[in-house]
Amino acid sequence: MIVFLLSDIAKALGHKYHRKYKKNGRWVYVYAEGDRHGSHSIAGHHLEAKDHHLHEGASFSAGSGKGHLQVHSVKDGKVTFHHDDIDGKGTKGEHKTVSVEEFKKHVEGVHGDAAKKHAKEGHAKRENILEKAREYGTPKQIARAEKELARWKELNKKHLKAEAPDSPEPNANKETPPAPPTPPPALPTSLKAQKEKAEPKKVDKNASAPQKALTMSEQELANTEGVKKLGEGVFGRVYLHNGPPPSAIKHGAVFKAEINAANAAGELGVGPKVYGSEGGGPKAKLSMEFLENHKTVAQMDEPSKERAQGVATIFKHIAKLHGAGISHGDLHLNNMMIGADGSAKLIDFGLSNKGTRAQFGDLNRAPTFHALVDRMKGSISSEGETKLRTAIDKIKNTKSGSGLELRGEVQQEVQEEMGKLARAGDVEGLKKLAGNLEAEIDRRVEEAEKQKQAPLKKLVSEFHSTVADVLQKEGL
């Protein structure tokens, strides 16, 4: 949300300062012109008839597309008002005088349907965002979406409550509709469990051992003979299933982005093969090839030809991954595995992403890449080592900026532009810009992103080209 120069813009549009009041701990400034007034965005109407809203010149929404209720006076507990713009064509209703309580009830009544619709649409939108977050997002994004949905439910609990159907009015001439069929009684919890236990999931007889293991619950898998826990982290647990073939099975937070990236990495040969997955979200499963006779780069302290070859292969794997438009997202020495024969794989694609900025982020990890070069000492020349370190530092010394920072810069630019238009009295220019504000900001952010990505893309390409040239000359 942008903080605009509210007073300047209001004056340019012909609005005059009316008054201010405090709402939920923040000041709301009201600017008015004729029978229209608004808060925050300069135009609009109150949705509820609070006591501090009731004053001469105030207006209240009469529901979506139904105009507004214009207040003429509030005196001795009475409100005089008329219904304005009833049909969207400027038609005005007659002046009425009612008690304050009656007016409040009237506003609540005419606005009720619109408020319910707004609450339900907002609820559906937030549920959709949460669903997408669980499918494609990170745990942090999921938590944020869950928090926003809970906030919306609490804010609109009055309008989101299930409503009992209205009782039909008695009418001797109407036939009473037949009662709906009575649903079968719900099974007690214990019987439900017995029924579910009696109907296990069907497993294809031709399925491999890793695929069959995916059908087990985590408890069943953990209690299976020969299965052992390989590790446990914030986002899940990994178990070794003997197979054949042996597989590493992750239970926990496995999102679609990780599954897609792991599949792609397996097909490219830069990561373990993926045998299968089930679900996609906070509680899901992923079955992968178990890398036997492999160690993480962090565990390989002793210099050897295999270690140097493995590190060289890791550099090539990163280039291959980026060439396919995928970033790893969490490149560090414990997510790089080297086999006894010098082969190598990248693991853990939980933070994988797409795009040039994400690939640049992969390479902008100078300590990790310098540590990789350290593990190639003795197998490459000093000239080759210098070239690699120079390429690493060139990435480190380049500021890319985040997408959030970029949007902030664009919003500031738009805010200043609107302020200039307001001070110059350019009402038409101001209305044109303000009328399509979000779309204009998105357009400018997209253009700025393209301009910023071009040099980043060039840097990523130059880095991989330099590394490939050095490894070729060194025979790795």
By C-alpha distance, which of 39, 151, 51, 158 is closest to 107?
51
The larger pLDDT score, comparing residue 98 to residue 170, is at 98
Q: Which of 158, 181, 216 finishes a domain? A: 158
**Number of folded domains in the chain?**
4
Residue 369 lies in a domain: yes
User: 39 and 107: one domain?
Assistant: no
Backbone φ and ψ of 41, nearest 5° = -105, 15
Residue 87 and residue 228 share a domain = no
Whether residue 309 is found in the same domain as residue 436 = yes
Say whether both 451 and 380 belong to one domain.
yes
Residue 259 lies in a domain: yes
Please give the sequence-ordered ranges of beta strands (E in DSSP) within 51-109, or none if there are none: 59-61, 68-75, 78-84, 96-99
Half-sphere exposure of 155 (CA within 13 A, CB side): 13
Residues 154 and 229 in one domain: no
Q: What share of the chain is helix, strand, coil (3-state, %, to 5)?
A: 50, 20, 35
Q: Say which range, 5-14, 167-176, 369-378, has the weakest mean pLDDT.
A: 167-176
Residue 373 has pLDDT above 90, yes or no: yes
Distance CA 45, CA 62 (A): 9
**Does 282 share its domain with 391?**
no
**Is a pLDDT exceeding 60 seen at residue 195?**
no
Mean pLDDT over 247-264 rounds to: 90
**What's the confidence (pLDDT) of residue 239?**
92
240 vs 41, more confident: 240
d(CA 437, CA 270): 44
Looking at the fold, whether 382 and 402 belong to one and the same domain comes out as yes
Would you state the structure tokens that stand for residue 65, as one six-digit string?
A: 């597309």
| pLDDT for 265 | 93
Which of the listed ranges 85-94, 170-179, 180-189, 367-376 does the model predict with the highest average pLDDT? 367-376
Per-residue pLDDT of 28-67, as tens digits, reads 555 443 333 333 322 345 656 666 667 777 777 776 567 7
Whether pLDDT at 165 is above 70: no
Domain annotation covers residue 176? no
Q: What is the mean pLDDT of residues 188-201?
A: 39
Model confidence at 10: pLDDT above 60: no
Residue 52 is assigned to a structural domain of this protein: no
Of 290, 318, 346, the residue that ends a domain is 290
Residue that finishes a domain, picked among 260, 290, 320: 290
- Is residue 384 assigned to a domain? yes
The answer to pTM > 0.75 is no
Does the residue 151 lie in any domain? yes
336-366 confidence digits (pLDDT tens): 999 999 999 999 998 888 878 788 888 988 9
pLDDT at 389: 93
> Are residues 283 and 298 both part of a single domain?
no
Looking at every residue in the chain, the average pLDDT score rounds to: 77
Number of residues that this document lists for the chain? 476
436 and 300, same domain (yes or no): yes
Look at residue 469 and tell me whether its pLDDT is greater than 70. yes
Q: Is there a single domain that holds both residue 307 and residue 216?
A: no
The amino acid at residue 377 is K
Q: Is residue 186 part of a domain?
A: no
Q: Which CATH number covers residue 313?
A: 1.10.510.10
Query: What 3-state DSSP class applies to 26?
Result: strand
Same domain, 218 and 307: no
> Which CATH number characterizes residue 248's domain?
3.30.200
The residues, any chain, with a CB within 8 Å of residue 366's CB and separated by 6 or more, are 392, 393, 395, 396
Instruction: Provide the residue range defining the domain that includes 127.
Output: 58-158
Radius of gyration of the chain (CA): 32
pLDDT score of 296? 92
Lowest mean pLDDT among 21-35, 194-208, 400-414: 194-208
pLDDT of residue 47: 59
Residue 248: inside a domain: yes
Q: Amino acid identity, residue 146? A: E
Ranges 168-172, 320-324, 391-395, 465-469: which has the least confidence? 168-172
pLDDT of residue 41: 29
pLDDT band at 204 (very low <50, low <70, confident <90, very high): very low
CB hemisphere CA count around 364 (13 angstroms): 18
Is 353 found in the same domain as 284? no
